[in-house]
Amino acid sequence: MDPELEQRGIAVIRGLAMDAPMRAKSGHQGTAMALAPLAHVLFTRIMRYDAAAPGWPDRDRFVLSAGHASILLYSMLHLTGFGLTERDLEDFRQWGSATPGHPEVHHTAGVEVTTGPLGQGVANAVGMAIAEANLRARFGADVVDHHTFVIAGDGCMEEGISHEAASLAGHLGLGRLVMVYDDNHITIDGPTELAFTDDTAARFRAYGWDVHEIGAVADDLDAIEAGIRAAMAVADKPSLVVLRSHIAFPSPKFTDSAKAHGNPFDEAEIRVTKEVLGLPPDEAFFLPDDVVAAYRQAGAAGRDARLAWEARLAEATAGGAAPELDAVLGGTGLTGWAEKLPTFAPGESIATRTASGACLAAIADVVPGIMSGGADLTENTNTVLPGEAPFGPDAHAGRLLHFGVREHAMAATMNGMALHGGIVPVGGTFFVFSDYMRPAVRLAALSRARVIFVWTHDSVGVGEDGPTHQPVEHLASLRAMPGLHVLRPADANETAQAWRLAIEHDGPTALVLSRQNLPVLEGTAGGDGVRRGAYVLLDPPDGPADLVLLATGSEVALCVDAAAALAEAGIRARVVSFPSWDRFEREPDDYRAAVLPAGTPVLSVEAGVTFGWARWSDDAIGIDRFGASAPGAVVLAELGLTVDHVAARATALVRAKEAR
C-alpha cells in the first residue's frame, strides 16, 4: 500500500473510532485511536487471512483481549471486507446490531473469541496457540501453519488470569503466539501508577517469554512491523511486544487522558481532532473509495494461500486417506465412535468419576480432537488419556495437558482451544473449584464454545476435607447460567450416556461427578432418558404412584432404596432420575407431564441447596448450609441424606395430600 494512502487509512480508522461511540453516546474510542497504526500493520502487512472465507482453518488468529476497543476491530473488519457494512458501524452498540459493545464470536464474522472481561482474551489466545501447536505437530505444517496474535492492555496485565495463562504459555514454549502489550499508562481511574507499577517485561521474561520492548513507536508503521516480525521469528517461546502508545492520539484535549477511556468525545473535540487528521470535520463515518479499495485488496491478499491450502488438504484426505484429520477438522468422531462407550452391569459399585475416566479412555482414539487434562488433579478427576504423551515444551503432539494449579486459565484456554477448531478440550478439577473458573465458564456459554468441564467430588460426600471443599450451592448457580449444558449422572451407565451427549453437543458441557462409589442401577443402560434430561427409572408394580421421588446423581440410588422402604409401608413411589434440567426443560409438555404427572406430589432429593427445586417439586430435601469435616457417609447422614429421612418426608407429603 502506498505510504500516503496508509496514513490516510489510519486517519480514517481514527475517525471511525470517534464517530461510532459519538453516535452511540457510548463506547471506548481512546485505545482504538491510539492503536489504529498497529491494527493497520496487522491486517495489511502481517496476518494471513482471507476476508471472503473467515472460517478458513489455517488463517492467522487475531484476539482483541482489550475488548472495550471493539470499534477498532469492527473498523478493520469493515474495511478489509469481512461483511460488516457502514450501517453496521453506524449501529454500533445498538439493539440487534452486528457491532455490539464488546466483540462476540459467532455474532460478527471475523471475531474469533468473545472478549471484554479483561485478561480472558490473553488466555483464549494461549488456548488457540496450544491448539495450533498440537495440530501442527500431529498433522504437519502443510495442513496447520499459522500464528495467533493478541492485543492486550494494562487491565489485561493486571487481571490474575493473564498471569496464570502467561505462565502456562511460557512453560509450554508456544512459539507462534505473539502478544502486543499496549502500554499506554492509562486506566479508567487515572494513570496506571495509581495501582500498577509492575515491570511487565521482566515478569514475562521470568515466565519464559521472548520480550521485545520496541518503545514509543505507536505511529511508526515500519518499527511496529519490525517488532512483530522479530517476535514471529522466535520458534520456541511465546513473544511479548511492548508498545508504548498514547491513548486518544492525536486529540488535542484528551491524548494521555483517562477521560478518553470510556467517554465519547463531544462534537467540538471530534471536529478539531479530525482537522488534525486531515479528515472532513463535519462528515461522520468518512470512508473514501480509494482507502476502502486498498483495504479490500489487503483483505483478499490471502486468497491464493487459502486456495493452495485447500488443494493440499484435498490431496491429503483424498479417498478417505486421513480419517483422523477429517474428524478433527469436522469436530466429530470417527464413524461408530459412540459404540466404543462402555456399559456397566447392574450391581457393580463405581464412582461416576471413575466411570467417566473409563469412557474418556474408550473414546480417546476414535474422537481424535480430544485433548484432556486437569488443574493438578488429572488422576483425581480421571481426565488422563492412557498411553498418551503429555503436551509439553518439547512434545506438542501430546494430547494430555497438565494445566497446573490454574483453574481459571484452564477454563479460558479451553475456550480458546475449542474456538480455534480441531480440538475438543476436556478439563477437570473438583466441583467446588468451579468457582475459580466461573468467569471463563460464563464466556464459554456465551460463546457456545465446545468444551467439556469435568467436575468431580460433587457433594458433601467429599467428607473429611470439610466445607471449603464441599460444594453445596454450585449446581444451582451453574444451572442458572444460560447455555451451559449441565449433566449430573446417577451411575456409570448414565455417565456413559452423558459423555455421548457432551461430544455431540454444540456448546459447553459440565459433567458433575461423584467421588464416592455408587451402585450401577437397573434401567440406566440404553434408552434415551439422559438425552431427554429426566426419565422414569422405577415405577411401582402394583398401581399408580402415590408420589414421585425426583433425584440427581448419587441421590438417585438413595431414592431407589427409599422407594423400597415406602413400599413396605404401603406407599407406592415412582423414582425419576433427573440428570439434566436444561435438557428436560426443552422437552415437549406431554413428555414432561408423563414423567411428572399433574396431581402426584413430588419430593426432590439432592445433596445441594434446594434453591430452584420449587419449579419441579412440592417439597425438597437438600443442604441449605455449608457442610462439615467428617467422613463423607457421616456428613451425608447428619445432613439428612438417608433412606429413613427421605421415607419420612415422602410419607408426610403423601399424608398431607390425603388430608386436603
Q: What is the pLDDT of residues 314-341, one digit of tens each?
A: 999 998 889 999 999 999 999 999 999 9
Q: Looking at residue 402, what is its pLDDT?
A: 98
Mean pLDDT over 213-227 rounds to 98
Instruction: Return the exposure string of 550-581: e unless at least 16 CB atoms fall within 10 Å of the residue's CB, then b.
Output: bbbbbbbbbbbebbebbeeeebbbbbbbbbbb
Query: What's the CATH class of domain 3-304?
Result: alpha beta
Residue 351 DSSP SS3: strand
Q: How confident is the model at residue 266 (pLDDT cuts 50, 70, 90)?
A: very high
Q: What is the pLDDT of residues 340-385, one digit of tens each?
A: 999 999 999 999 999 999 999 999 999 999 999 999 999 999 999 9
Mean pLDDT over 59-73 rounds to 98
Residue 427 DSSP SS3: strand
Residue 123 near residue 35 (C-beta atoms within 8 A): no
Q: What is the pLDDT of residues 287-309, one digit of tens each?
A: 999 999 999 999 999 999 999 99
In the numeric block, the cell 398431607 is attached to 656
Sheet holding 547-551, edge to edge: 535-538, 573-577, 547-551, 602-605, 619-621
Q: How confident is the model at residue 658 (pLDDT cuts 50, 70, 90)?
A: confident
Considering the domain 535-659, what is its CATH architecture?
3-Layer(aba) Sandwich (3.40)
Helices 643-659 and 555-568 cross at an angle (nearest 10°) of 60
Q: What's the CA gap between 12 and 155, in Å, rounded?
A: 27
Q: What's the CA gap between 598 and 589, in Å, rounded?
A: 11
Residue 579 near residue 606 (C-beta atoms within 8 A): no
Judge whether residue 426 has pLDDT over 90. Answer: yes
Note whether 3-304 and 337-519 share their fold.
yes
Q: What is the pLDDT of residues 241-257, one digit of tens each?
A: 999 999 999 999 999 99
Q: What is the pLDDT of residues 85-123, one digit of tens each?
A: 999 999 999 999 999 999 999 999 999 999 999 999 999
Judge whether residue 657 has pLDDT over 90. Answer: no
DSSP run (H or E) holding 637: helix 632-638
Set of cell numbers at residue 458? 460433587
Judge whether residue 436 has pLDDT over 90. Answer: yes
Residue 138 near residue 166 (C-beta atoms within 8 A): no
The residues assigned a catalytic role are: 407
Q: What's the CA gap between 39 and 150, in Å, rounded?
A: 11
Sequence-distant (6+) residues with CB within 8 A of 637 are none
Q: What is the overall mean pLDDT for the chain?
A: 97
Judge whether residue 264 has pLDDT over 90. Answer: no
Cα distances (angstroms) measured from residue 428 to each of 378, 402, 403, 605: 7, 10, 10, 26
What single letter denotes the amino acid at residue 346? P
Judge whether residue 129 has pLDDT over 90. Answer: yes
For the chain, report the end-to-end CA distance as a whole number of angstroms. Answer: 83
Residue 394 near residue 406 (C-beta atoms within 8 A): no
SS (H, E, C) 38-107: HHHHHHHHHCCCCCCCCCCCCCCEEEECCHHHHHHHHHHHHHHCCCCCHHHHHCCCCCCCCCCCCCCCCC
Q: Looking at residue 262, what is its pLDDT?
A: 83
Set of cell numbers at residue 340? 466404543
Q: What's the CA gap between 392 and 109, in Å, rounded?
A: 33
Judge whether residue 660 has pLDDT over 90. Answer: no
Superfamily of domain 337-519: Thiamin diphosphate (ThDP)-binding fold, Pyr/PP domains (3.40.50.970)
- Percent of the chain residues past pLDDT 90, beyond the cut: 98
Q: What is the pLDDT of residues 509-562, one digit of tens each?
A: 999 999 999 999 999 998 899 999 999 999 999 999 999 999 999 999 999 999
**Structural domain boundaries of the chain?**
3-304, 337-519, 535-659
Set of cell numbers at residue 119? 485478561
Phi and psi dihedrals of 291, rounded to 5?
Answer: -65, -45
Nearest to 163 by CA among 116, 119, 113: 119
- CA R_g for the chain: 28
Q: What's the CA gap between 349 and 344, in Å, rounded?
A: 10
Nearest to 598 by CA among 544, 542, 531, 538: 544
